[in-house]
Amino acid sequence: MNSALGKVVTGIMIDENDKDYFVQPDRNGQTYRLPKEESPQVLHIGGQVRGFVYENENHQLQMTCAHIPTVQVDHYDYGTVVNVRRDLGVFVDIGLPNKDIVVSLDDLPSLKHLWPQPGDRLLMALRVDEKDRLWGKLADEQIYQTISTAPNKGLLNRDTYATVYRLKMSGTFVITDNYHLGFIHPSERDQEPRLGQRVKVRVIGISSHGSLNLSLKPRSYQAIGEDAQMILTMLDHDINHRLPYTDKTDPTIIREVFGISKGQFKRAIGHLLKEKLVKQQDGQLILIKEKQE
């Protein structure tokens, strides 16, 4: 096995032509072509150079000094999915000029509609198989635990972005852009997100073991319609968070104040009452305090 592949190594220049230097790392005697335009300096026979080595798309052993990827053997970072082949896996761009890395279908969900799509991102390292082929190696739970940071209660009810890294029957596991681990229960999503998909989530709790409980569903006031949201906005802007209008108010007044019919007003109030966002008391509509965020 070529133990240098997928790593940054030091090599000695042993030959050249018009376009390339030919470099041989000390460790295994393999020769790599280094495009002269990528060399950090002019090389002479016996000169040393350091770069990342791989097999390019033309099956040539190559060194690059100008496009050293952060994804390497035993080095994890995000790569971007650029192509999908149902019979092979997904191709990931890690920054090489002439090589995308395949994550095997064996490492992807059994349901192909949950595979990553172009634009999704995967946290991965590289591995070399017995035929000296480079593959993408997805980060496991231990890696995510290592890079994660502990959340704080100030995140409650906040929106954030997260990337899906594991799909299980129990729910969806994600890591946020700020490296907090999170979990989305099936009841908190309308459809299951893909592996590698970046999603907008809402923090609804913090578990006892320090991960975030998240939701893909909109807040109640975001899902109850424009009329109800208009009423909530008016309540929120009132200094006392209350309005002198209820479902008993005269239809003419409702039309003058809110610009909607009495029927529309009652339906909107009904939604707000059902979601426990407001209450009616003493002829007033009152915003419930704990919902004011």
Architecture in CATH for domain 8-64: Beta Barrel (2.40)
pLDDT at 45 over 70: yes
Burial class (CB in 10 A: 0-12, 13-18, 19+), 69: buried
pLDDT at 185 over 50: yes
- For the chain, residues classed under CATH 2.40.50.140 are 77-139, 149-215
Architecture in CATH for domain 221-291: Orthogonal Bundle (1.10)
Mean pLDDT across the stretch 160-179?
Answer: 97
Mean pLDDT across the stretch 68-77?
Answer: 97
Superfamily of domain 149-215: Nucleic acid-binding proteins (2.40.50.140)
Which helix (H) or strand (E) covers residue 94, if one does? none
What pLDDT sits at residue 224?
66
Beta strands 89-93 and 77-85, pairing class:
antiparallel
pLDDT at 237 over 90: no
What letter represents residue 214's amino acid? L
- For the chain, residues classed under CATH 2.40.50.330 are 8-64
pLDDT at 269 over 50: yes
Is 239 strand, coil or helix?
coil
pLDDT at 291 over 80: no
What pLDDT sits at residue 154?
87
Is 14 strand, coil or helix?
strand
**Helix residue spans in 84-127 (DSSP H):** none
Q: What CATH class is the domain 77-139?
A: mainly beta
Is 119 strand, coil or helix?
coil
Cα separation, 254 vs 130, in Å, equals: 76
For 109-120, the pLDDT digits (tens) are 999 999 999 999
